[in-house]
Amino acid sequence: MDTAVLHSVNAMPAPTWHRLAMNHATIDVPDDLALEHRADVRCDPALFGEAGAFDAALRGLQVHTFGTPEAACSLDDAKALVERETSPAGQDGFNPLDATALSAFQTRAAAVEVTRSVAGAFETGMGPEALDFLREASGAAVVLATAPGDAPAQASVRTFALEGALNACAIDVAVADGTELDLALTHESGKVSRGMIGSSLRAYVGRGATLRLSVTQAAGEGTTVLDDSGIVLDEGARLVVRHSVLGGDEAYGGLACDLRGTGSQASVTTRYIGQNSQKRDFNFVMRHRGEHTASSLNVAGVLAGSSEKTLRGTIDFVRGCKGAEGSEVENVLMTSDDAVNRSVPVILCGEDDVAGNHGATIGSMNPEQLFYLESRGLSSQAAEAMALRATVENAYFDAPDSFARAAVVAFGRVHFPDFEESVA
């Protein structure tokens, strides 16, 4: 493993002032970590698909969307085309001051659409550098694929930290038209002095199909977690994501969703806690390309100790996504003076016939809520600790399978002595 530093992880599509240090994250990867690809996968054996199922699905979507298997041009050619239309080196007699001086990200965004390439537009939340890194570290991907007419299917994948190792797992998913898949990813660890867990998910959700993705991260101390996803939705497809991010010294989560098909929908709910000096870093991108698509991001968490959290949430209305709607809501409860919260809720919009909104509230506990709790004998510290614990308990109750439940119980036991009894 040559890579020592991932320089640009969770980069938001539209950067802002570098001084704020929010545009992306940087991850140090110790050179001497051993590479492991140990994951427990539990599902009906019939669900295992052929290697290349995801790429084949995207090729099908390419033909279905653009009527041709080929992209119109490369991204570089597309950028050159966009720049020719807007740059000082434009056509003779054309005054560049009459053209709109697009920013670098606006040029790139326009160019991606010019390529007319589903695969070329594919992205994950953590970005290309992390995708390459995790795919290389993971070895062969676990491939899960439903077939048309299949009954609703379930799959569970558990990854765990190993001392002195990066244990990574790549998963490719193709959910066939009209089918349903519940996929549960669990990341866990006992206490290790140094370890990394990585997962890289690429998923295609077919016409009228549904993917329910549950990610439960209950890693212990000493662990860094990289959870990266890129999901493409075909016509009428539905994606429902639930993240519970509880542990790990550093937890990076990225999710990008290409709402390509008309009427496709994505809903992402993320709950997290940060304690001690833990770091949480999220990048969610909802890319609306299809007409009448809908997305919702709902992120809430509790920051205690000197923990730090960064959330980059982007709703992008790409030109042509008429009738699309996107919303983003964030609530952050900061229980400590030393905690740091960074939020960048972004809306990018190249289409007029859309409705987008976001709202965020950040701060301490609502005085009315606090008063209510204090009137019942709870101190403010106890009330805030209760919020922390409630997030873990909810993770237990939302846990989709026994892997996730066991991981949350093991996590809760470390932090709350009576946790097991309270959720029993």
* The binder of other proteins chosen from 1, 15, 81, 386 (CB under 8 A): 15
Q: How far is the CB of 223 from other proteins (least distance, A)?
A: 26
Q: Which residues of 4-34 are buried (b: 16+ CB within 10 A; e: fewer)?
A: eebebbbbbbbbeeeeeebbbbebebeeebe
* The binder of other proteins chosen from 73, 80, 81, 99 (CB under 8 A): 99
Between residue 153 and residue 212, which ones bind other proteins under the rule CB under 8 A? none
Nearer to other proteins, 106 or 269 (CB): 106
Between residue 288 and residue 307, which ones bind other proteins under the rule CB under 8 A? 303
Q: How far is the CB of 316 from other proteins (least distance, A)?
A: 9
Between residue 226 and residue 245, which ones bind other proteins under the rule CB under 8 A? none
Nearer to other proteins, 170 or 321 (CB): 321
Q: What is the 3-state secondary structure (H, E, C) of 379-400?
A: CHHHHHHHHHHHHHHHHHHHCC
Between residue 76 and residue 95, which ones bind other proteins under the rule CB under 8 A? 86-88, 95
d(CA 264, CA 64): 15
Q: How many residues bind other proteins (CB under 8 A)?
A: 60
Nearer to other proteins, 88 or 128 (CB): 88
Nearer to other proteins, 107 or 270 (CB): 107
Q: Enter the tokens of residue 356.
A: 């987008």
- Residues 329-348, mask of contacts with other proteins (x by CB under 8 A): ---x-xxxx-xxxxxxxxxx
- CB count within 10 Å of CB 363 equals 10
* The binder of other proteins chosen from 30, 105, 413, 420 (CB under 8 A): 105
Between residue 46 and residue 65, which ones bind other proteins under the rule CB under 8 A? none
Show Cβ contacts of residue 357 under 8 Å, excluding neighbours closer than 6 positions. 326, 327, 328, 347
d(CA 224, CA 6): 13
104 binds other proteins (CB under 8 A): yes
Question: Nearest CA to 158 among 193, 131, 188?
Answer: 188
* The binder of other proteins chosen from 300, 350, 383, 386 (CB under 8 A): 350
d(CA 386, CA 378): 10
CB 281 within 8 A of CB 252: yes
**Span from 58-66, 96-104, 209-217, 235-243 in contact with other proteins (CB under 8 A):** 96-104
As a whole number of angstroms, the longest Cα–Cα distance in the chain is 78
Q: How far is the CB of 83 from other proteins (least distance, A)?
A: 8
- CB count within 10 Å of CB 41 equals 15
Binding residues (CB under 8 A) for other proteins: these are: 14-18, 20, 22-23, 86-88, 95-107, 303, 317, 319-320, 322, 332, 334-337, 339-364
